[in-house]
Amino acid sequence: MKLVLAILLGVTGLGHLNAHASEEPTRFIERKSEGWFFYKDPKELPPPPPPIVVPPKQAETAKPPPKTDQQEPFSVSWLREYMPKLLDAAIDDPTKENVEAYMYAQRVAMDKSQRYAEMTTRVVAADPFLDENNRVPIATYTKPFFLRNAQAGISDALKHVAKVGGLWVFFDSKCSFCQPQVNTVQEIAKQYGFVTKFISMDGKSLPNVPEFVTNSGQASILNLRITPTTVLVVPPNNYFIVSQGMMAQDQLSERIIAAADSNDLLPKDIALKIHTYDRGVLTNEDTKQGASNDPKKWVQYLKNKLEGRYEGDSNHAQ
């Protein structure tokens, strides 16, 4: 009986030991038998990433050299490029050949210019729209006639402006330029019939001003800074500064006409008289609308636009 009990106890203890032996201790202190050789490689490692393979660059195909424009010898573009080089060579090394080469190239350029000038004369003579003499006479004996007509237009314009407006002159008794300016305005007023008003900035008069009024805020409203100042006044409430400072009579007349013309104060027939130099002139709208890459088309277009522009009405041709 004792023997059987001993055998049973031995088997049970052995099973218990084997069960503990099959469980591998996890703490380092329980794994004394490993000693210093406790490191163990893992059983399974992740596979290394595949190597990156860079494809070899394909050899670039050689680009053909850019094509250079083949310039025709003795053409304008050829002369423009090579004449400076020929001149440099002739100056740096003035041999007979170098100097002769440049001089003959220059001769070609001058002869081509002469041929161009001759053809230009023929073309202009045959085309009235290209002949500037039809716009403004060039001949000496016709120039006075043109200028008389232009002056007549200026006179008519000033007489008309004098009917619809007047002139104010702001002056100061201490201003050395005010008296000559007052004389100029008085002469224009006498010649064309302007109503004038002289306004003193300091309340004092000038020897040539029989009547005046003292400034009562007009100068501030017009933002005037210097004297003398001449203002074109068109009732009921239009004020146009035409000069600040002393000005000659012809200059002041031109300024008065310019102010009247730019503010549509002139009738159409009088406006045409003062625009004598606009005869046969293309407008900006003409050139914008007629832009083209075909010379035949835009030459014909410009001819059509200029048709009728020499009759005095620049808006006649559409």
pLDDT for the residue 9: 46
Residues whose CB is less than 8 angstroms from the CB of residue 261 and which lie 6 or more positions away in sequence, other chains included: 157, 271, 274
Nearest to 171 by CA among 204, 195, 216, 196: 204
pLDDT for the residue 301: 86
Domain locations in the chain as residue ranges: 164-266, 276-318
Site of tokens 């300091």: 202
H/E stretch holding 83 reads helix 76-92
Q: Which residue has the higher pLDDT, 24 or 247?
A: 247
DSSP secondary structure code for residue 239 in this structure = E
Asked: is 164-266 a CATH 3.30.930.10 domain? The reply is no
- Mean pLDDT value of segment 269-278: 80
Strands (E) across the chain are located at 166-171, 195-200, 213-214, 229-234, 238-244
- Mean pLDDT value of segment 157-163: 94
- Asked if 306 and 280 count as a contact pair (C-beta separation under 8 A), the reply is yes
pLDDT > 70? residue 32: no
Is residue 90 very low, low, confident or very high in pLDDT (cuts 50, 70, 90)? very high
pLDDT > 50? residue 24: yes
- Mean pLDDT value of segment 270-297: 80
pLDDT for the residue 315: 44
pLDDT for the residue 299: 87
pLDDT > 60? residue 8: no
Distances (CA, A) of 261 to 41, 168, 269: 104, 19, 12
Is residue 85 very low, low, confident or very high in pLDDT (cuts 50, 70, 90)? very high
- Mean pLDDT value of segment 188-204: 93
Nearest to 172 by CA among 233, 241, 219, 221: 219
- Asked if 199 and 219 count as a contact pair (C-beta separation under 8 A), the reply is yes
What pLDDT digit, counting tens, does each position of 201-215 carry?
A: 999 999 888 899 999
pLDDT > 90? residue 196: yes
What pLDDT digit, counting tens, does each position of 112-153 carry?
A: 999 999 999 999 888 888 887 777 776 676 667 667 777 788
